[in-house]
A and B are shown apart, each in its own frame.
Chain A
Amino acid sequence: MTQLQARGVVRAYGPTPALRGVTLDVAEGEIVAVTGPSGCGKSTLLHCLAGILRPDAGEVTWRGHRIDTWSEAARSRLRRTEFGVLFQFGQLVAELTAAENVSLPLLLAGTGRREARTAALTWLERFGVAELADVRPGELSGGQQQRCATARALVTEPRVLFADEPTGALDTLTGEQVLTQLVRLAREQHTSVVLITHEPRIAAYADREIMLRDGLVDHTGLGLDVPLAGGAR
């Protein structure tokens, strides 16, 4: 079943066009990588899909509802409850502990403090950083911070996780560990993932890759209809 749909999405920053009519579908539980060179509009597409930005033209549909016409408050609620958002870095609240950061979305949804903390600890445990629950982000390594941020993005068990270069600030090995955990947990709870990356090896975690170029989907990107030489690998 299609969870999320973009139809001819156009978005510009002042006179600079970032997206020039992008169409794409994300099915339930599907992991889609969006790749392309810097400035191709990857992040803008993610912001439009997640309802952070409103497209200038085109439609964004979530389970059959057009969300690009919703108010900021309604889209905010959607992001809080149905979506999870993960950035490259700097999304944790510096003044709150890891556990408080992870429990924040639950508290916003009205969950009690004790219950929220229990859930936060469970998720920190799943990412192997339970012992850092009462530490503030400033004292965590980049990988630990990103694990906490991923736990926070998944703690509400969202339908779609939007990840913008989630491993961009990490070394290869740490990035792979974080991403492997993210993908495993997303698959376990049938969360769709929209994964923005410019690295082929990160895009390889996805079921499908969409290539953007100059604000448009590059359909020539991934032809697979050519026979492999020698018929073997």
Chain B
Amino acid sequence: MGGVSTSHVLLGLLAAGSRHGYDLKRAHDERLPRARPLAFGQVYATLGRLQRDGLVAAAGQDRAAGPDRTTYALTDPGRAALDEWLSTVEPPMPYVASTLFTKVVVALLVADVDRARSYLIAQRGAHSARLRELTAAKADPAATLSDVIAADFAIDHLDADLRWLRATLDRVADWHREVHP
């Protein structure tokens, strides 16, 4: 899913005008401040794939800057693909699958309640620490709205995870009895 998103982000960034690869990487990191930073290799690989599918086209080369500085532009099929992607709704959590959830289940299967509980507690500690970090970043007077909104997204998810962790800690003994009757 991540790869698909990267190509759509690049298409979106090109919708405002043609850019070369380095620009695209910088704009990506600025607009999605707390996303995993994009590697140059990934930018060029994705652009190559998009060019192959006819969604972007090379629009010229900045000679002074060397061969890597090819400028790319959005093609009409590319615009159509972007439109289609934007007008579809993401399925809301089609599968309950997360490493966090899976790990607790496995811990209960292979070990006892204490193992599962200590994992939950450790995870809660890590979640709390991260939540505190993001809250501090968000409260920083220098934070831009992009920073705040990105932090909010993560805070809300961590908050939900923490509630789940707390409730599951209270239920883990009963749960274990259900798994090992």
A interface residues with partner B (beta carbon < 8 Å): 180, 183-184, 199-201, 203-206, 209, 220-226, 228-229, 233
Contacts and interface: CB of A to CB of B under 8 A. Distances in A.
Interface of B: 99, 118, 121-122, 124-132, 134-135, 139, 141, 155-156, 158-159, 162-163, 166
A184 B128 contact: no
8 contacts: A200-B131, A200-B166, A201-B156, A204-B128, A204-B131, A204-B134, A224-B122, A226-B125
B130 A233 contact: yes
Given A184-B139, A223-B121, A203 B128 contact: yes
Contact of B128 (A183, A200, A228): A200
Which 9 pairs across A and B sit closest by C-beta, in order of nearness? Answer: A226-B122, A200-B162, A204-B135, A204-B131, A201-B159, A224-B125, A204-B132, A222-B125, A180-B139
Contacts of A220: 121
Contacts of A183: 139
B171 to A, nearest CB: 13
Contact of A223 (B125, B130, B135, B141): B125
A180 B140 CA distance: 9
Contacts of A228: 126
A18 to B, nearest CB: 20
A197 to B, nearest CB: 12
A224 B123 CA distance: 8
Contacts, number: 54
A199 B162 CA distance: 9
Contacts of B134: 204
A28 to B, nearest CB: 19
B129 A201 contact: no
B52 to A, nearest CB: 32
Contacts of A225: 122
Contacts of B99: 229
B126 A224 contact: yes
Given A222-B124, A222-B128, A224-B129, A201 B135 contact: yes
A156 to B, nearest CB: 24
B131 A201 contact: yes
Contacts of B128: 200, 203-204, 209, 222
